[in-house]
């Protein structure tokens, strides 16, 4: 009898758009994989998401029209545990961006040492143009579409750009209605009253602060008097600015989608926050000189904290950045093509997968507290967060020194090695 022929075929990895965040992520992944000597099969496994969903979200708008939105959820990897990652609402969000963000979550969780894999979600919509009722309907329909994907032991969403505690509450409620029991641990970053964690809202900014202090120490600078510029004045940007100011730094520039401002005497953050509270954005704020978005990134300062979106530090911007330290509060704010320029200028970059991992770390604490049903004090949350961030910072710094690479590549090496070793121990199910 003839031996049966085994069909061998290679399914192509998802296409990578030129100049996209996914390409930036993959370029760093490739460098780290090469240094690690990653086995080809493991490389192929880790570069692809394990599952991807595109869902259609039809909504009856307030004026009676039916509008159809598109939603995404990408599970990049779950070797280390249930997948974890935020949900972003933006008019230009797309599956390629979500794939990059999902992979970053895998690496981020591994860098900071929490037992989660990586995922990310998004809905293509402009929340600024939606009413609260429409936003709630979108959130609930998106969740209902992904009801079999989410779960406290499966895939756990959190807030990201343009999503917040209220949206997490609607995700929780919709999920709980379908499963017929209240599932607090299905989302993190939810309101305290629903089993949220103290310190979660400030966690990413607190991690940015801890990373920045670590970086200043490495470049021999004191936090007191260090001039800081922060791009983005949402959750991450505003809290990072506030906590760095509390450490003695002087915030000399801030921005949001509506505009950028500088003030060498130091920004009055309380006044800026009150303006955003009243008007929704910084537009029309009188607390600083109005400058362009690009000028903000190029201001004379010691620390630059990009905390808005991907691809803000292009090679052109990198050539003009004056900061000594860049702490990446946002995911993917630096294009891969800018890395070398920053390195040659001697700028110490604390990469996103380390610098903004405070958010997912306290999300992990929140998930643990929900599952145990016992809630920690703010002091305990902050103390544990700061300890984990500092340990991760030191490990990444050591990895970078050991391999003679930037902290970014050092972080990727650490993360990929950890996930690859776990994968090998688990083995390949077939
Ligand atoms: P957010 O929606 O609260 O705030 C985003 C801010 O960026 C807003 O002030 C917005 O006006 C501004 N912005 C958007 N586009 C801009 C542009 N082109 N130029 C200048 N400002 C711009 O979002 P967030 O939660 O603060 O997230 C910001 C970044 O941090 C994102 O990359 C997100 O993925 C990342 N991040 C967030 C968390 C978290 O816990 N929220 C955790 C890790 C990483």
| Residue pLDDT, tens place only, 211-262 | 999 999 999 999 999 999 999 999 999 999 999 999 999 999 999 999 999 9
The preferred substitution site among 128, 232, 285, 306 for testing ligand 1, maximizing ligand atoms within 8 Å of CB, is: 232
In this structure, the answer to whether residues 303 and 342 fall within a common structural domain is yes
In this structure, the answer to whether residues 210 and 348 fall within a common structural domain is yes
Work out the pLDDT band at 81, boundaries 50, 70, 90. Answer: very high
Instruction: Flag whether 389 is in a domain.
Output: no
The one-character DSSP state at 129 is: G
In this structure, the answer to whether residues 261 and 321 fall within a common structural domain is yes
The closest residue, in CA terms, to atom 23 on ligand 1 is: 161
What atom in ligand 1 is closest to the CA of residue 101? 34
Q: Is the dihedral of CA 15, 336, 206, 79 positive or negative?
A: positive
Domain with 56, as residue range(s), is 49-182
The preferred substitution site among 160, 206, 282 for testing ligand 1, maximizing ligand atoms within 8 Å of CB, is: 160
232 lines ligand 1 (CB under 6 A): yes
User: What's the distance, Cα to Cα, between the start and end of the chain in Å?
Assistant: 25
161 lines ligand 1 (CB under 6 A): yes
Q: How far is the CA of 187 from the centre of ligand 1 (A)?
A: 19
Does position 14 have pLDDT exceeding 90, yes or no?
Answer: no
Of the candidates 308, 355, 351, 357, the one whose C-alpha atom is nearest the C-alpha of residue 85 is 357
Work out the pLDDT band at 22, boundaries 50, 70, 90. Answer: confident
What atom in ligand 1 is closest to the CA of residue 329? 30
Q: How far is CA 174 from the centre of its chain?
A: 24
Domain end, chosen from 182, 216, 245, is at 182
Domain at 127, CATH number: 3.40.50.10860
The length of the chain is 430
Structure tokens at 54: 């595109």
How do residues 131-186 score in pLDDT, each as one tens digit? 999 999 999 999 999 999 999 999 999 999 999 999 999 999 999 999 999 999 99
Domain at 254, CATH number: 3.40.50.720
Instruction: Flag whether 83 is in a domain.
Output: yes
204 lines ligand 1 (CB under 6 A): yes
The closest residue, in CA terms, to atom 30 on ligand 1 is: 330
Q: How far is the CA of 376 from the centre of ligand 1 (A)?
A: 27
Instruction: Flag whether 346 is in a domain.
Output: yes
Q: What is the pTM of this model?
A: 0.94
In this structure, the answer to whether residues 216 and 347 fall within a common structural domain is yes
393 lines ligand 1 (CB under 6 A): no
In this structure, the answer to whether residues 210 and 349 fall within a common structural domain is yes
357 lines ligand 1 (CB under 6 A): no
In this structure, the answer to whether residues 278 and 218 fall within a common structural domain is yes
Q: How far is the CA of 255 from the centre of ligand 1 (A)?
A: 11
261 lines ligand 1 (CB under 6 A): no
CA atoms within 13 A on the CB side of 422: 18
In this structure, the answer to whether residues 246 and 332 fall within a common structural domain is yes
241 lines ligand 1 (CB under 6 A): no
Mean pLDDT of 57-63: 98
Grouping H, G, I as helix, E, B as strand and the rest as coil, residue 86 is strand
Work out the pLDDT band at 13, boundaries 50, 70, 90. Answer: low
Could you give the number of structural domains in the chain?
2
Instruction: Flag whether 67 is in a domain.
Output: yes
In this structure, the answer to whether residues 207 and 351 fall within a common structural domain is yes
Instruction: Flag whether 132 is in a domain.
Output: yes
Domain end, chosen from 288, 323, 355, is at 355
In this structure, the answer to whether residues 244 and 112 fall within a common structural domain is no
In this structure, the answer to whether residues 207 and 347 fall within a common structural domain is yes
- Residues catalogued as catalytic: 120
């Amino acid at each position: 009898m003839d031996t049966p022929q085994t069909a061998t075929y290679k399914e192509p990895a998802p296409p990578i758009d030129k100049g996209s965040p996914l390409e930036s992520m993959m370029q760093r992944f490739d460098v780290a994989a090469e240094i690690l000597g990653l086995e080809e099969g493991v490389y192929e496994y880790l570069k692809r998401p394990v599952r991807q969903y595109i869902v259609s979200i039809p909504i009856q708008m307030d004026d009676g029209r039916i509008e159809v939105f598109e939603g995404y959820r990408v599970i990049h990897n779950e070797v280390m545990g249930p997948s974890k990652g935020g949900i972003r609402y933006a008019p230009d969000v797309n599956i390629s961006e979500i794939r990059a963000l999902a992979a970053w979550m895998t690496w981020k969780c591994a860098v900071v040492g929490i037992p989660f894999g990586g995922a990310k979600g998004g809905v293509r919509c402009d929340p600024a143009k939606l009413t609260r009722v429409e936003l709630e309907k979108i959130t609930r329909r998106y969740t209902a579409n992904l009801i079999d994907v989410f779960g406290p032991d499966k895939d756990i969403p959190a807030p990201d750009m343009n999503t917040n505690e209220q949206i997490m509450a609607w995700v929780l409620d919709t999920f709980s209605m379908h499963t017929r029991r209240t599932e607090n641990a299905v989302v993190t970053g939810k309101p305290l009253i629903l089993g949220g964690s103290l310190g979660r809202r400030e966690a990413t900014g607190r991690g940015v602060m801890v990373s920045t202090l670590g970086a200043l120490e490495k470049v021999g600078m004191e936090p007191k008097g260090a001039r800081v510029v922060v791009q983005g004045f949402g959750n991450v940007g505003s809290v990072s600015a506030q906590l760095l100011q509390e450490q003695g730094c002087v915030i000399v520039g801030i921005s949001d989608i509506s505009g950028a401002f500088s003030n060498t005497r130091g920004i009055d953050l309380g006044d800026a926050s009150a303006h955003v509270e009243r008007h929704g954005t910084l537009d029309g704020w009188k607390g600083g000189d109005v400058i362009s978005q690009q000028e903000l990134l190029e201001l004379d300062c010691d620390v630059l904290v990009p905390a808005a979106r991907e691809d803000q530090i292009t090679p052109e911007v990198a050539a003009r950045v004056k900061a000594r330290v860049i702490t990446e509060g946002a995911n993917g704010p630096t294009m891969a093509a800018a890395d070398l320029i920053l390195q040659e200028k001697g700028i110490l970059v604390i990469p996103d997968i380390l610098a903004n991992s405070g958010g997912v770390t306290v999300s992990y604490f929140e998930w643990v507290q929900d599952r145990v049903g016992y809630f920690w004090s703010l002091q305990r949350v902050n103390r544990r967060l700061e300890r984990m961030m500092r340990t991760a910072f030191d490990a990444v710094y050591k990895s970078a020194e050991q391999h003679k690479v930037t902290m970014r590549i050092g972080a990727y090496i650490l993360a990929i090695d950890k996930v690859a070793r776990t994968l090998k121990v688990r083995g390949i199910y077939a």
